[in-house]
Amino acid sequence: MTADPMTTTMPPGPPHTAVHAPSARVTGADGAMAAVTVIAVCAGTALLDGRLDPGGALPLALQLGLLLLVRRRWPIAVLLLGVQAVIVFRSAGLTDVGWVWPVTAAYFTLAATDRPGRPGRPGLPWAIGIGLVELGFAAAWEASTGAAPRAVLASTGAEALWLALVLAVAAAHRDRLRWRAEVDAGVLRAAREREAEARRRIAEARLQIARELHDVVAHTLTVVGVQLRVAGEALDDSPDEARAALATAQRVRKGAVDDLRSLIDVLRDPDDESGEGVGGGIGDSLGGVPAPRSPARPAPQAGLDDLEALVDRVRSTGLDVRLETSGELSRAPAPASLAAYRVVQESLTNTVRHAGAARATVRVLLTGGALHVHVVDDGDGDGDGDGNGDTGARPEQEGGGHGVRGMRERVHALGGTFEAGPDHPRGGYAVRAELPVPGFRP
């Protein structure tokens, strides 16, 4: 599938599975059936030693054939008029053979389709009823002419068997059409479900990629930016401090490049072993040494085990960060561990960038079947509400970041709760998240 499932136009809904009446338009098949009926009535009359004369069998055959031209539009009327024509010609003595078989095509058409304008209401019961009435009239007429009971039974019995055969074939044909319609509807429904699932997966993947890129890039640029500012300020007076700041910036940059390379490896075709693309390009464009070309590999996931390293990097910016943990954090499942790590990372990044804070406290607790994350700082805690029960991002973030929204999406995706806003009445700003940990027992 080459089209983007996000923009692919979906096919219309599945058709009704009932076999609807065919189009009212006269088709070549109608003309062919009319011609076959004319020939069949004449040939049948001759084979059964009936009178084949211009005033009897031939006009009847032509009338029955002409009626079939509109059989799709008025199947019940066509059958009734056809049966009436047969009865009139037989009663008037214009023809002397055939009751049911001359109107075989009309019986088949009505029994094999739905009644016009009544989807799901088959015409088979009508065909059976009309056939029984015609057979009853035929038996009465044959008996009234003085024919022997054996002859009446043989004649009407043969007509009844032919009617039963025609109706059985018509019902089987209708069931086959119904089955094909249901199969087509099932195929279309499955295709629509696959398209919807593909769109959902792509939307989720895009959202996840956006969150990962935001978290990695925003954190890295914040730390690197602070270190470069420190290096610039200390370059003349304290070269050693400037070198240390640059070394820290380089180390953080390298970690970000590794994270981005791993993320791109996951997005590339697993069968692509060319090594071309972002995996090497990131290192080259940032002045680093390109990584060896290798097939795609799973991206290493950050987690609670990396909190110490994360806090150390943030401390290098001058923010006093205190980390408090409780519980067996290693037992937290990977999705919850990654989400908690990203919440802490984004919260501290926002504190460094926007808060003007001097201190921040990070508390991570695994207890009671849930993973609790609480990050609070002493910076500017003013914020505007977002209508979701949170006070939203700091005013400095209103211009564009997606940090608070990304944190909320991560937590809500795992069935957790999230709050972010001013830490009243103490001041500062607080981020709180609670992630369920199924099956955890302290």
Q: What is the pLDDT of residues 107-144, one digit of tens each?
A: 999 998 865 555 556 788 899 999 999 999 999 988 88
d(CA 370, CA 420): 18
With b for 16 or more beta-carbon neighbours within 10 A and e for fewer, the 46-55 pattern comes to eeeebebeee
DSSP 305-363: GGHHHHHHHHHTTT-EEEEEEES-GGGS-HHHHHHHHHHHHHHHHHIIIII--SEEEEE
Residue 178 burial by Cβ neighbours in a 10 Å radius (0-12, 13-18, 19+): middle
Between residues 56 and 258, which one has the greater pLDDT?
A: 56
Higher pLDDT, 113 or 298: 113
Banded model confidence at residue 314, pLDDT cuts 50, 70, 90? confident
Using one digit for the tens of pLDDT, what is the confidence trace for 239-256?
A: 777 777 777 777 777 666
pTM greater than 0.95 (yes/no) = no
Q: According to the model, what pLDDT value does residue 282 have?
A: 43
Q: Give the whole-angstrom CA distance, residue 347 versus residue 403.
A: 8
Return the bridge partners of 435, or none. Answer: 371
The pairs formed by 20-23 with CB atoms below 8 angstroms and a separation of 24 or more are: 20/113, 20/114, 20/119, 21/72, 21/75, 21/113, 21/114, 21/115, 21/116, 21/117, 22/72, 22/113, 23/72
Supply the pLDDT for residue 294. Answer: 43
The predicted structure's pLDDT at residue 371: 92
pLDDT of residue 218: 64
Q: What percent of the chain has pLDDT over 70?
A: 71
pLDDT at residue number 93: 84
Determine the pLDDT at residue 385: 38
- What does the mean pLDDT of the chain come to? 76
